[in-house]
Chains A and B, each alone.
Chain A
């Protein structure tokens, strides 16, 4: 009788019956079901959604956009703008998912981690695209150990979300970009405006004026020396 009860209990557990209280791990199937992820942020201004679930040392992220093109999530730039940011960017062409691990190597550009000497740390990914938009899901470690990745530890992270309507890794996102502070472990998100950091370049108190003066000095030096050589009277006499 006891053996029968244990067998019945095992059958219930395996069948996902009343014993299954904790949410199941997200399934990387290119679909986002209600309650599949523990965290969620909806960027109202650009119509993009970010979902996430942390399990042990792994995080699963899902992105949904209303466009058919690339979409990206990045976090923790050192600035200015997106410099130093850990970026995952992907798109779906036909039925094939193209997802790559990128790093913002300058304030306005990014490069594939592998091309910079790092690793592609996406462990698992899936995606789908239809007339209503694009979904990409992927899993990676919270801390990959790669020097071109940023660990997603406790506390708020500066997260940038963006997308564009073309299937590539370079098309400018235009106004389809937003910046938000997200605490992935505790939940909660706060919009922070378009720029994560002050956009000043690092060269003293007024870098633009210093740069402009440098340009003027360089142009004056080249033009001035040329004019001086061409106007030199001794040369003119010699060859007159």
Chain B
């Protein structure tokens, strides 16, 4: 039972980030499918033209309000002793962390590659995949939030059909965690090594050309 009055701040920020990030996801999808329908009604063409910048701006605004939502969630809902001992709340925090990571990656990808990423087939699919991951985890965050507010969620029947009980704490086994962390570290190390080798050979070939 969250504290009245101040909990409204969490509700407002949660609605804000949900709306913004949903807009970002929808804009990214529109921009992606625009590749198959380049010509169309003037409204469609205007929509496609605005979809790219809208996706970025909405994602940034959504990330900022998601940060605010995390702060208000910690400060104005339940006491820390409840937040850190409830399996539903811990699941919600974990899903929020995953969503946050997807959306940071989404913005970072756009920042690194610029608007030109829409011209690169693999990269634009990757970009929309990040938005999809962020949106799906965001939906699960909203669903667990619905449970915490004492309501049901529209996703309940789907989750129960899949055998997922959101009331139980979701954890990976220690070996699984170590395998994931080792695999990620190894992949990054390999790519950095390959990148360094590639850079050296590029510089060598440039020197030979000169």
In the bound assembly, the distance between CA atoms of A202 and B165 in angstroms comes to 13
Q: How many angstroms from the CA of A216 to the CA of B194 in the assembled complex?
A: 26
Chain B interfacial positions (CB closer than 8 Å to A): 1-4, 7, 78, 81-82, 84-90, 93-94, 97-98, 101-102, 104-105, 108-109, 112, 120, 122-123, 126, 130, 133, 147-152, 167-172, 174, 176-177, 180-181, 184-185, 187-188, 191-192, 194-195, 198-199
Check B94 against A222 for contact (C-beta < 8 Å).
no
A228 touches B98 (CB 8 A): no
Q: Which of A14-22, A128-136, A169-177 faces chain B?
A: A169-177
| Contact residue among A81, A217, A226, A237 (Cβ-Cβ distance under 8 Å from B82) | A81
Given contacts A109-B148, A172-B3, A172-B4, contact A217 B180 (CB under 8 A): yes
Q: How far is the CA of A105 from the CA of B101 in the complex (A)?
A: 30
Indicate the member of B101, B130, B152, B199 with the most A CB atoms within 10 Å: B101
Contacts of A202 in B (CB 8 A): 87, 168-169
Q: Is the beta-carbon distance between B4 and A166 smaller than 8 angstroms? A: yes
**Residue pair B148, A108 in contact (C-beta under 8 Å):** yes
Taking a contact as CB atoms closer than 8 A, the residue among A171, A208, A233 that contacts B195 in the complex is: A233
Please tell me if the beta carbons of B188 and A107 are within 8 angstroms of each other in the complex: no
Q: Is A220 an interface residue (CB 8 A)?
A: yes
> How far is the CB of A83 from the nearest CB of chain B, in Å?
8
The interface bits of chain A over 196-240 (1 if a CB of B lies within 8 angstroms of the residue's CB, else 0) are 000111111001101101111111111111111111110111010
Whole-angstrom CA separation of A222 from B94 in the bound complex: 13
Are A164's CB and B4's CB within 8 A?
Answer: yes
B172 touching A80 by the CB < 8 A rule?
A: no
Residue A111, interface by CB 8 Å = yes
- Is B130 a contact of A226 with CB atoms below 8 Å? yes
Using CB atoms, name the residue of chain A closest to B85.
A199
Contact status A108-B89, CB under 8 Å: yes
Q: How far is the CA of A27 from the CA of B14 in the complex (A)?
A: 47
Compute how far the CA of A108 lies from the CA of B168 in the bound complex, rounded to whole angstroms.
13
A213 touches B191 (CB 8 A): no
- Give the complex CA separation of A223 and B104 in angstroms: 9
Q: Report the nearest A residue to B152, measured CB to CB.
A: A115
Q: Which residue of B4, B181, B192 contacts A168 across the interface (Cβ within 8 Å)?
A: B4
Q: Is B177 within 8 A of A216, CB to CB?
A: yes
* A110 on interface, CB distance cutoff 8 Å: yes
* Chain A interface residue count, Cβ-Cβ cutoff 8 angstroms: 54
In-complex Cβ contact of B85 among A166, A174, A201, A233 (8 A): A201
Interface centre among A110, A166, A221, A224 (most CB of B within 10 A): A224
List 10 A-B pairs, minimum CB-CB distance, nearest first. Answer: A224-B184, A171-B4, A172-B3, A226-B105, A233-B198, A210-B171, A199-B85, A217-B180, A222-B101, A201-B87
CB contacts (< 8 Å) of B199 on chain A: these are 233
Provide the bound-state CA to CA distance between A219 and B98, in Å. Answer: 6
Having A108-B148, A109-B149, A224-B184, one finds 4 other A-B pairs with CB under 8 Å, namely A107-B88, A109-B1, A214-B171, A235-B122
Question: Is the Cβ of A81 less than 8 Å from the Cβ of B85?
Answer: yes
Interface flag for A42 (CB, 8 Å): no
A109, A203, A230, A237: the one within 8 Å of B171 (CB): A203
Instruction: Decide if A211 touches B167 in the complex (CB within 8 Å).
Output: no
- Cβ of A173: which chain B residues have Cβ within 8 Å of it? 1
> Do B188 and A227 touch (CB < 8 A)?
yes
B31 to chain A, nearest CB (A): 19
- Check B150 against A170 for contact (C-beta < 8 Å): yes
Q: Tell me, rounded to whole Å, the shortest Cβ–Cβ distance linking B46 to chain A.
A: 29
Minimum C-beta distance from B140 to chain A (A): 12
A107 and B87 within 8 A (CB): yes
Evaluate contact between B188 and A224: CB separation under 8 angstroms: yes
